Amino acid sequence: MREALTARSTAGRTWLRRRTLVGLAVVACAVPAGLAAATAASPAQAATTTPVLVDVRAAHHPGYDRVVFEYTGKGPTAYTVKYVTTLVADGSGQKVPVAGRAILSVVMRDVDAHTVAGKVPTPLRQAFALKNVTSTVRSGDFEAVVSYGVGLQKKTAFHTHRLSSPARVVVDVTTPFTTVNRRVWFADSDKVAANVANPVTSVWRQVLPTTPATGVMDRIYAGPTKAEKAAGLFLQTSRTTGWTNLRISSDGIARVQLTGPCGDGSAVVTVASEIFPSLRQFSTVDHVKVYGPDGTTEYPTGHRDSIPECLEP
């Protein structure tokens, strides 16, 4: 991204400089050196005017969850919001994991998510403990196009509009459904430091009453909120990117398969440490068997918990 941006800026600066030199060639002897230097600096100053994304936030309002993208300057010249089945990264085209049952793609043009100094004011991923919105994930910041995915619990109607002072793109996602509260466990840095045997802590999340276990798994991979991170909670993914094939059998065994890479032998807490209590909170679950991306687990049969070999120390 920076190389393309630098090349574009350099190309623009060279073109402008050539135009300036043509004009100055006729009156070179009449222009003071200081004025010539000031004239040459103006293209670089103009390059800093691209609006920059400075905040991404979300909150619940009666009947909808609101997601706000705030920019410096006038914000994007255009934007599109639509549902997609898969979020892909700009440039590479690789799949970007988004926790939830539905994904809204938000693409904003003629803006950057980074400053000219290379600073990125907003996090790559954010989790929200809202009724429908689970998370926001940046999927692109390339050639003055900023792209995001918004993870949702349910595909519902949405509305978009712009606000000014400051410049904002607003996405309102309706919430015409009921939810129930369930606990989700995350790794706890304080407990890890204190060498607690099971260093995880639970937080409340809203999930759909018809598929609460699915909602809990999605909320795990959405991660802790900004406030929860400040309190020391973090998502230990063990390098996995998501999950699939969740099922709960009549004999009280929950089975779930991890996706993506897997393994972090140096960790004292793994993603299974978060999944086990999150699924065992349900009255229909006595044991949890976590399968690796290759579809294997250490104890596939029997009434006992099980993890894949990739999660072993």
| Rounded distance between C-alpha atoms, residue 35 and residue 30, angstroms | 10
Give the number of other CB atoms < 10 A from CB of residue 55.
Answer: 12
For 295-306, the pLDDT digits (tens) are 999 999 999 999
Q: Tell which phi-psi region holds residue 252, choosing left (phi > 0), alpha (psi between -120 and 50) or beta.
A: left
- Averaged pLDDT score across all residues of the chain: 88
Map residue 122 onto helix, strand or coil. Answer: coil
Q: Which architecture characterizes domain 53-174 according to CATH?
A: Sandwich (2.60)
Q: Which residues of 13-37 are buried (b: 16+ CB within 10 A; e: fewer)?
A: eeebeeeeeeeeeeeeeeeeeeeee
Q: Is the peptide bond before 313 cis (omega within 30 degrees of 0)?
A: no
The residue to which tokens 């909602």 are assigned: 215
Indicate the pLDDT class of residue 48, thresholds 50, 70 and 90.
Answer: low
pLDDT at 236: 97
Residues 6+ apart with CB under 8 A from 8: 143
Which residue would you say has higher pLDDT here, 91 or 215? Answer: 215
DSSP designation for 152: E
> Would you give the end-to-end CA distance of the chain in angstroms?
37
Q: How confident is the model at residue 45 (pLDDT cuts 50, 70, 90)?
A: very low
Quote the pLDDT of residue 266.
67
Query: Taking the domains of the chain in order of start, what are their residue ranges?
Result: 2-39, 53-174, 180-311
Q: Is the pLDDT of residue 3 over 50?
A: no
